[in-house]
């Protein structure tokens, strides 16, 4: 197991209750607001930082809705330069290495580059070590995020960082949102449970940084359908492959309903 590396909270906490369907002044809604409020109080930020980051996102959201005619999910949307690069680089990676088993060349050596970026030059695709977070980290860096993303060999580390950066309104480049808070667009990173593990609660993830999870990069959106590309997925032992997720009410699940998205990582990069 890899060390979280980024300010993991100490001690064990009880998982927060699920908030599905919470509305108005229900206990779930009160818990959600109080949890985020307590985190924000522990990490006060200057008003201008909060306003700057919030205004940037609100502006991009208004532009997004204007470009898509008010629709929150549309294939022909206008994306920022970073999102465009991330989608292009990810699609190129799939075209070059998709369908190749992780322990076969040339993907085996390519996975070695992912690990080398995370300062683990001792690993490659032949080591039977989960590399899906290394894939996402490498793609995000390849698209030009530089030092603005909390790169890690564990998805849970950058979930924790981006969720908490949003909670305290930190003027950082990446924030982690609830699935029903924002429109999903190409270039977003969607976080979910592993297919053999139960769904993950956003509030629980806000206070935990070390657990099994997974994330993919969104490459296309059409109606209620989200298409992603990820690493260490597909046929065993693992490959680079596509997946399709679809909204059913407020839930965003894969075709087999074994994975459910709980966080959408968006960026403020140009």
Q: What domain range includes position 66?
A: 33-267
Dist. CA 147–CA 51, nearest whole Å: 22
- Asked if residue 211 belongs to a domain, the reply is yes
Q: What is the pLDDT of residue 253?
A: 98
Tally Cβ neighbours within 10 Å of residue 204. 17
- Asked if residue 23 belongs to a domain, the reply is no
- Asked if residue 111 belongs to a domain, the reply is yes
Q: What is the pLDDT of residue 58?
A: 52
As for how many domains the chain has, the answer is 1
Q: What is the pLDDT of residue 78?
A: 55
Q: Give yes or no for residue 266 having a pLDDT over 60.
A: yes
Dist. CA 66–CA 74, nearest whole Å: 12
22: left (phi over 0), alpha (psi -120 to 50) or beta: beta
- Asked if residue 8 belongs to a domain, the reply is no
- Asked if residue 193 belongs to a domain, the reply is yes
Percent of the chain predicted with pLDDT > 90:
70
- Asked if residue 6 belongs to a domain, the reply is no
Q: Give yes or no for residue 217 having a pLDDT over 90.
A: yes
Query: In this predicted model, what pLDDT tens digit does every residue of 162-188 receive, in sequence order?
Result: 999 999 999 999 999 999 999 999 999
Q: What is the mean pLDDT of residues 77-89?
A: 88
- Asked if residue 19 belongs to a domain, the reply is no
Residue 140 CA: distances (Å) to CA of 7, 89, 196, 251: 21, 9, 26, 26
Q: What is the pLDDT of residue 2?
A: 33
Q: Give yes or no for residue 201 having a pLDDT over 70.
A: yes
Q: What is the pLDDT of residue 79?
A: 72
19 pLDDT band (50/70/90 cuts)?
very low
User: Which helix (H) or strand (E) covers residue 161, if one does?
Assistant: helix 155-167
- Asked if residue 43 belongs to a domain, the reply is yes
Give pTM, 2 decimals. 0.76
């Amino acid at each position: 197991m890899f060390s979280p590396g980024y300010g993991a909270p100490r001690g064990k906490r009880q998982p927060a209750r699920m908030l599905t369907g919470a509305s108005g002044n229900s206990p779930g809604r009160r818990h959600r607001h109080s949890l985020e409020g307590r985190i924000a109080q522990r990490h006060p930020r200057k008003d201008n930082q909060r306003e700057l980051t919030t205004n940037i996102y609100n502006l991009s959201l208004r532009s997004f809705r204007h470009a898509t005619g008010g629709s929150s999910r549309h294939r022909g949307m206008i994306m920022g330069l970073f999102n465009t690069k991330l989608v292009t680089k990810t699609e190129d990676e799939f075209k070059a290495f998709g369908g190749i088993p992780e322990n076969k060349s040339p993907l085996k050596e390519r996975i070695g580059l992912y690990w080398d970026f995370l300062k683990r030059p001792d690993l490659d695709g032949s080591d039977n070590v989960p590399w899906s977070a290394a894939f996402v980290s490498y793609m995000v860096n390849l698209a030009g995020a530089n030092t603005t993303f909390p790169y890690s060999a564990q998805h849970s580390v950058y979930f924790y960082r981006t969720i908490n950066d949003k909670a305290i309104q930190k003027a950082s480049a990446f924030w982690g949102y609830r699935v029903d808070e924002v429109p999903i667009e190409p270039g977003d990173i969607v976080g979910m449970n592993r297919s053999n593990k139960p769904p993950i609660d956003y509030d629980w993830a806000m206070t935990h940084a070390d657990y099994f999870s997974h994330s993919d990069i969104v490459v296309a959106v059409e109606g209620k359908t989200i298409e992603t590309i990820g690493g260490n997925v597909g046929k065993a032992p693992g490959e680079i492959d596509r997946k399709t997720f679809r909204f059913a009410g407020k839930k965003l699940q894969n075709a087999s309903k074994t994975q459910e998205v709980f966080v959408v990582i968006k960026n403020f990069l140009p």
